[in-house]
Amino acid sequence: MFIKILTKTYGGKKHYYASLVENTRINNKVVQTVKANLGPVTEDQIPYLKAAYSKKKPKLVYDDD
């Protein structure tokens, strides 16, 4: 499972929507199935959502050096 971000543009402004998606193989083709719609997210929330569902957890704390 992974987080899929959809970007829509309305009136020149970008809006981001997140969905929890699972890949399954049906008749030798990969099909993406939406398991949950998480709703609108801000651009700042996207890396944290992706990190929460990633297999290798990245370090999201950055030093200001």
The string of pLDDT tens digits covering residues 16-50 is: 999 999 999 999 999 999 999 999 999 999 888 88
This prediction's pTM: 0.73
The string of pLDDT tens digits covering residues 46-61 is: 888 888 877 776 666 6
**Secondary structure (H, E, C), 3-65:** EEEEEEEECCEEEEEEEEEEEEEECCEEEEEEEEEEEEECCCCHHHHHHHCCCCCCCCCCCCC
Gap between the Cα atoms of 32 and 13, Å rounded: 27
